[in-house]
Homo-oligomer: A and B are copies of this chain.
Amino acid sequence: MPDHLLLRAAFRQPVERTPVWMMRQAGRYLPEYRAVRAKADFLTMCKTPELAAEVSLQPLDLIGVDAVIFFSDILTMLEPMGLELVFEKGGGPRFPEPINGPEDIERLHVVDPADGLGFVGDALALCRKQIDGRVPLLGFSGAPFTLATYAIEGCTGKGFNKVKHWYYREPKTLATLLEKLARQVTSYLNYQIASGAQAVQLFDTWAGTLSREDYRTIAAPFTRQVIDRLNRDGVPVIIYINGGDHLVDEMAQLGADVLSLDWRTDIGAVKQRHGQTHALQGNLDPCALYGTEERIRLEVQRILDAAGPTGHIFNLGHGIHPDVPPENARAMVRAVQELSRRS
């Protein structure tokens, strides 16, 4: 039986209080992160286990979270498959040569993560060592649909017209890509688990752009394929979709242990529908951290009341914003830890 609060909550076992962590908690809102980032570019940080471990552990010491998620980006795993990845100064990640057709899919190779992604295993091992049992270590990967979106669009935030063009015009070609990505994600996550990850989160960040029927057709089968093949003995699987309120009932069909909800979903209603089979993670609006401490505590209390004392991992509904004062993140974490305590 797992000992850590977060692992017990993920398996809906009794806890003394609700565990809490934040998506993107190792990030730019921390001056200590920016100090490391000033010395190395983003990909160098991902690929240097000492730097990755350093920033991964910062929120544990500085903010007091109940889990460490190793520092990386969901796109790094596409590079050894054959997609050159560029992080441009001031911008997001970009693939200069995105997937344009079947021949580009052909040239993508499913690789052994120990080759090409060995820095991830090293970072995880180093994190585990430095955490020294205080909290669990989380691994993560993009889900196949979200990875395909980046691989086809070439960058993020520009809409999803190309990937949907494929879906409506060449659904079989898109499925070929997704199937390949599903195999890579599976081996990548199993490699993370073998390297020390004690829970894994699948980010299907952009699946919220799909209707329920389209999600069921093009995204869910490949996510389910990944989850089915994970070596998950004692390792809970968390699934996250941004803007996925209309997909929650589909998320509950994937075989995951934990449904991670964005702030637009009524966590109490999901608890009623799926609380018997799933733990829930979330779901404070990341912008609530702009509020006063008093306002933050009110919002935390509201979510704790709705989610109940068991089967809940407190988190933001999306990544923490870079302009949030660290003090406000601390206030949120403190509020969860105090207000959820069962005496």
A208 vs B164: C-alpha distance in the bound complex, in angstroms?
21
Min Cβ gap A170→B in Å is 10
Please pick, from B160, B212, B287, B292, the residue contacting A287 in the complex, using a CB distance under 8 A. B160
| Chain B CB within 10 Å, residue with most, of A212, A245, A263 | A245
Number of copies: 2
Within 8 A of B (CB), among A147-162: 157, 160-161
A213 vs B263: C-alpha distance in the bound complex, in angstroms?
10
The 8 A CB mask of A245-261 against B (1 = contact, 0 = none) is 11000000000000000
Chain B residues, Cβ within 8 Å of A209: 264
Chain B residues, Cβ within 8 Å of A157: 157
The 8 A CB mask of A223-253 against B (1 = contact, 0 = none) is 0000000000000000000010110000000
Given contacts A285-B164, A285-B214, contact A169 B266 (CB under 8 A): no
| Chain B CB within 10 Å, residue with most, of A161, A167, A168, A288 | A168
Using a Cβ–Cβ cut-off of 8 Å, how many residues does chain A contribute to the interface with B?
A: 32
Q: Does A211 contact B (CB under 8 A)?
A: yes
Given contacts A160-B287, A287-B161, contact A292 B246 (CB under 8 A): no
Chain B residues, Cβ within 8 Å of A164: 285, 287, 290
Please pick, from B212, B246, B323, the residue contacting A161 in the complex, using a CB distance under 8 A. B323
Q: Does A321 contact B (CB under 8 A)?
A: yes
Min Cβ gap A218→B in Å is 12
Chain B residues, Cβ within 8 Å of A288: 168
Given contacts A246-B245, A290-B164, contact A211 B285 (CB under 8 A): yes
Q: Is the CB of B214 within 8 A of A291?
A: no
12 A-B pairs besides A209-B264, A245-B246 with CB distance below 8 A are A157-B157, A160-B287, A164-B287, A169-B295, A208-B243, A210-B264, A211-B264, A211-B285, A212-B266, A243-B243, A246-B246, A246-B264
A interface residues, Cβ below 8 angstroms from B:
157, 160-161, 164-165, 167-169, 208-214, 243, 245-246, 263-266, 285, 287-288, 290-292, 295, 302, 321, 323
- Listed A/B pairs (16) with beta-carbon separation below 8 Å: A161-B287, A164-B285, A165-B287, A165-B290, A168-B287, A168-B291, A169-B290, A208-B243, A208-B264, A209-B264, A211-B264, A212-B264, A213-B302, A243-B243, A245-B245, A245-B246
